[in-house]
Amino acid sequence: MSSATPTGDLQPILISTPLAEAELYTYGAHITQWTPRGQRPVLYLSPRSLFTPGKAIRGGVPIIFPWFGPRSDGRTGPAHGFARTMEWKTDGPQTRDDGKIEITLTLAPSEATRALLDIDFHSSFRVTIGSELEMELQTHNAGKQPFTYEEALHTYLAVGDIHQVSISGLDATTYLDKTDDCKRKTQLQEPISFTQETDRMYLNTTATSTVDDPAWNRRIIVEKSGSNTTVVWNPWMEKTAAMSDMAPDGWKQMVCVETTNAAENAITLGPGVSHKLTAKIRVE
């Protein structure tokens, strides 16, 4: 299934317009559903996802910040950073003249974030909901020292059958294969298809990715800016079986195409400097 009913203590913001329906949480600034009017859901949300403070929501668009994957600086910390399990502030949705709904959420340093990483950041996440889904993550260095961070919009896309899915747009791109000791490889053949666990970090690319989903007779296009890394991920059968918040067959119904800056594409911000990461998703 590509939707779930909250089972914990978190309350969603529900949006319904002539253009689309959507659901998001101030917890993690997390979009969990987006469905253009008259279409199938575009985001995958695990039916077993937890909606409990301290636990990441499985599916939708988790925000990854300030590190990607396991922390690599020798200190302890949650996988994929702290942004996806923090409460963000918002003034609520606003309706634009074009009928789209816009909502901006913000995250600033707190005692909890400083205990993990003592940086003077200010993050804002602007979501625009319409027949397209537009996301903008901006990070500002409000301090007097530079800092380096990684980030991602860890987008789970709903598909009819992963065995039939293919992804184009990353031809001739170098990637780190995380299923093979992070060996550096080159995408020599397109489109990308799926026959086993896939976890690839495509580096130094600003390309648009297109997900072809014959089972549901559609293509999902992911455009981006301010991003030099694209991550493509499907956990396949064995890894999914070890994930308590995923249904056993969940891997067949999703693929992640993540708008990212990580590894050698990590961002370094000087004092007073901001960086903006954007992703736009549409369906054809």
Supply the residues annotated as catalytic: 154, 258
- CA–CA separation, 20 and 5 (whole Å): 19
Q: How far apart are CA 6 and CA 141, in angstroms?
A: 35
The vertex-47 CA angle with 34 and 49, nearest 5°, equals 90
Please say whether the dihedral angle defined by the alpha carbons of residues 101, 131, 85 and 277, taken in this order, is positive or negative: negative
Query: Which of 59, 27, 34 shows the shortest CA–CA distance to 45?
Result: 59
- Rounded CA separation 173/204 (Å): 8
Spatial neighbors of 74 by CB under 8 A, at least 6 apart, are: none
Calpha distance 107→29 (Å, rounded): 9
Query: How far apart (Å, rounded) are the C-alpha atoms in residues 184 and 163?
Result: 25
Q: For residue 155, what is the DSSP state? A: P
Q: CA separation (Å) from 138 to 6, 108, 121, 144?
A: 28, 12, 10, 18
